[in-house]
């Protein structure tokens, strides 16, 4: 066992010495675009989606079951004093961080000697954001990508149609029911993430997908300055130029649709094509007015 453990320790020590970042946001809000741009920077290693939230959910269940079994055995067999203690929050966080470090070690796509930040991108951190902030990734910086929820709703429908063969028509009661459920979740997740860092603004940066589309160099500069890495014009230009929609989509210009591609269209405001007045009212009501709060056109 020690041979196998020692084989990983040097690499994990190197990873543990890095700063951590998380790219968070609703699915289809531009998180992958931001993650890829950051990974292009020589001081950042953000290789993709480690699905750490799902890993944590399964791990917590396993530890909870283990603790119950251990407590029972201790109470029945070792009443005079147990040798093994249940795992507390510190043990859980330490083990989880070790697993994350193993995942980053195994991905192995970049020379870490020049890297300051190691990061991950995901879209399901919101419901447990306080745990991520305080326990699982303490000190990590969060980049929150925000997009008009009506556009993310439409993009999610196209994405599901492509990924699993689901076919949802735009318009009608099923569509409006989906919009109501989606809008509530979209608004709740946004408010949870923003509120989680209200008292720690130095760890939180918010960027809008629409602003990135309009002025990518300006807003990439802001992100890099937030992280404190090289934000020189030449570096920003390289990060932006290597991650244009044309390059990511395999040669299409933004607006040229390919429904079979993850990078389907790359535009803002597509909701106008699919929303009627009833759909707009459903989304606005279910999201609690968040569109207006964020300054999006209602």
- pLDDT value of position 173: 86
Between 198 and 250, residue with greater pLDDT:
198
pLDDT confidence of residue 298: 67
Nearest to 23 by CA among 112, 119, 105, 114: 119
Model pTM greater than 0.85? yes
- Choice among 6-10, 136-140, 206-210, 239-243 with the minimum mean pLDDT: 6-10
Task: DSSP for 189-212, please give it.
Answer: HHHHHHHHTTT-GGGEEEEEHHHH
Query: Residue 1 has what pLDDT?
Result: 61
Q: How many CB atoms lie within 10 A of CB 83?
A: 6
**106-110, 145-149, 289-293: lowest mean pLDDT where?**
106-110
Q: What is the mean pLDDT of residues 235-261?
A: 86
Q: Across residues 153-180, what is the average pLDDT?
A: 82
Task: Please tell me the predicted confidence (pLDDT) of residue 250.
Answer: 87
Give how far Cα 16 sits from Cα of 97, 118, 234, 260, 289, Å. 9, 9, 30, 39, 42
Alpha helices in 79-171 (DSSP H): 89-107, 129-131, 149-164
Q: Is the pLDDT of residue 195 over 90?
A: yes
Pick from 25, 18, 3, 8: which is nearest to 206 by CA? 25
Whole-number percent of the chain with pLDDT over 70: 98
- The domains located in the chain, with CATH, are 2-293 (3.40.50.300)
pLDDT of amino acid 180: 95
Average pLDDT, rounded, for the chain: 91
What local confidence, expressed as pLDDT, does residue 258 receive? Answer: 65
Q: Residues 122-139: what's their mean pLDDT?
A: 91
């Amino acid at each position: 066992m020690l041979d196998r453990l020692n084989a990983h320790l040097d690499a994990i020590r190197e990873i543990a010495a890095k700063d951590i970042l998380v790219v968070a946001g609703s699915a289809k809000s531009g998180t992958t675009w931001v993650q890829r741009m950051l990974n292009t920077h020589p001081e950042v290693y953000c290789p993709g989606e480690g699905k750490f939230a799902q890993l944590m959910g399964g791990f917590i269940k396993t530890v909870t079951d283990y603790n119950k079994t251990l407590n029972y055995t201790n109470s029945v067999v070792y009443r005079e004093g147990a040798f093994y203690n249940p795992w507390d929050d510190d043990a859980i966080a330490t083990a989880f961080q070790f697993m994350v470090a193993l995942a980053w070690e195994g991905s192995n796509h970049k020379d870490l000697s020049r890297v300051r930040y190691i990061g991950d991108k995901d879209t399901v951190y919101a419901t447990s954001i306080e745990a991520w902030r305080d326990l699982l990734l303490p000190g990590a910086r969060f980049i929150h990508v925000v997009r008009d929820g009506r556009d993310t709703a439409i993009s999610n429908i196209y994405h599901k149609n492509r990924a699993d063969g689901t076919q949802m028509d735009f318009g009608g009661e099923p569509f409006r029911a989906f919009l109501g459920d989606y809008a509530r979740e979209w608004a709740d997740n946004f408010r949870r993430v923003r509120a989680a860092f209200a008292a720690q603004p130095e760890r939180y940066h918010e960027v809008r997908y629409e602003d990135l589309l309009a002025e990518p160099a300006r807003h990439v500069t802001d992100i890099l300055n937030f992280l404190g890495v090289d934000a020189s014009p030449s570096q920003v230009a390289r990060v932006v130029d290597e991650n244009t929609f044309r390059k990511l989509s395999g040669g299409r210009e933004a607006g040229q649709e390919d429904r079979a591609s993850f990078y389907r269209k790359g535009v803002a405001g597509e909701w106008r094509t699919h929303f009627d007045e009833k759909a707009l009212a459903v989304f606005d009501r279910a999201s609690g007015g968040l569109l207006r709060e964020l300054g999006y056109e209602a």
